[in-house]
Structure 1
Amino acid sequence: MKKQILYILLFISTIGFAQNPMVKAEIDTTNIRIGEQFQLKITVDETQNVIVPKLHLKGLEVIDSTQVDTIKNSLIRKYILTGFDSGAFYIPQQQIFVKNQAFLTDSLLVNVATIAIDTTKVKKFPIKSIKSEPYTFDDFKIYVYILLAALAIIGFWIYWFVIRKRKEEEEEPTYRALPPYEEAIYRLNELDEKLLWQNNKVKEYYSELTEIVRGYIERELKVPALEKTTDEVLDMLKDFKDAETIQTSEDTIKKLKALLQEADLVKFAKSKPLAIEIEEDRKDAQDIVSNLKPKPIIEENDELE
């Protein structure tokens, strides 16, 4: 009797799941080498009122993605992924919305391996001969001192008789520089009016967008953010936050990391984000500018009061 009831329940549950739209995620390989690309395909057995959110990954990178295709009453979207660190990484369950109901795909495991080096094929070089002793600073210091003295005299002459005289003749500037926040907002609005990404100039759009954000950080925090890499900027901000010299949140730093990494993928990996993702990055850029500030300096007199 118990077995019969169990079979009936299993039969009913099977019917119930068969009536629901199915979502499925699959990859064309589970083993790659560092930098090698593979394909992730998400299939939804429904074409009406389907929402496929932005892909969330850990340890893997999205190189490219296709538009949603409709094939035989199913929606299919493909992604080109890769990994730059060795190890085993999961593609976590992705949440798909079908007619306002959430469904989860299966999680998938991908192994990223390093490239083995065949030492038997490594080219060997002969032993180098003994080199002669290199020159030192002492061999040329007298000439360096003479050159520096001559340059100092020429520089003083140019300053005294040219630059100084020109400065005296110039009028006071009639303009004033905008504060960092106002300048960043002004440039973001100018960028919107250019309609770059709408005209398939996505790379130029992300270059200017990140330049505005980096320029704001450089002026507001007085650090060379325009000259640093993405990782260097993020490490610097984390150090500032740990030292409590800036006012911001972990969410703001996460948005900055996602924006700079997305821009790097667009500029160097030819990634093509969707319109909704570009609009979200534009919104994040303004949030970063609005929520990343140096901590006010409290004077000793204020603390006594």
Structure 2
Amino acid sequence: MKKYILHIFLLISAIGFAQKPMVKAEIDTTNIRIGEQFNLKISVDETQNVILPKLVLKGLEIVDSTNTDTLKNSLIRKYILTGFDSGSFYIPQQQIFVKNQAYLTDSLLVNVATIAVDTTKVKKFPIKSIKKEPYTFDDFKIYIYILLTALAIIGFWIYWFVIRKRKEEQEEPTYRTLPPYEEAIYRLNELDEKLLWQNNKIKEYYSELTEIVRGYIERELKVPALENTTDEILDMIKDFKHADTIQTSQETIDKLKSLLREADLVKFAKSKPLALEIEEDRKDAQDIVSNLKPKPIVEKDDELE
């Protein structure tokens, strides 16, 4: 009976041992020189529910690592390691979880040796002075921006106060102020060349015609004829006539009255005079300009004589 119990115990132990996964950490060398690289491989003979650790080292550095591979029902992950300090360093035990059960790998010792230098065969050189870093654009960009801004301001100042002013002076036309009568005749001839009423622009024609006559009266008699109404202008002319300060006839005043009234009808009542009437108004405008003048001022000495 005891013999059977012993066999059953050994069988259960063997099954339990067989079911325990194998976790292993291996390196291809235990001795390297500073800067040399070596390989670390962590393997687990199980593929389901396996969690590999994040490798944490002291004194050694990870150069590269591969993704976890599956090979013959095992998980394998490889690392490329190196060391830059001499000495002995441990790759600590790595905790691996398989089906929520933790397993530990063995710790591994790596010796990092310095490179022996034969000073008798190494050529000696004098100690070099500190070399300055080469200049880059960032070293000068602030000065470049300041220079460009200053040039832009200077350029704008030269253009605005020198070139532009000179250009305006060159382009600005020079006019000779004509006397009131000559200016009125010149503008009447210009109005004829526009052919306004011939192109059915009667309102524009009368507006410009009366503006020429009003402008002549304003300059010649020195009154605000352009701003005043027709009645106000006619009243001023009558006052000047009664005061005997202008040289004109009643016929000229009647022509002025007829012209201004006709222009008001065209502009405000949309009247459309005939061609003969328009031509007659044009002649009247020139007669008004020619025959409406202020009396010359007679000095006291001339009166005594």
The answer to whether TM tops 0.5 is: no
TM-score range, shorter chain: 0.3 to 0.5
Higher relative contact order, chain-length normalized (CA < 8 Å, sep 6+): 1
The TM-score, its normalising length taken from structure 1, stands at 0.44
TM-score, structure 2 normalization? 0.44
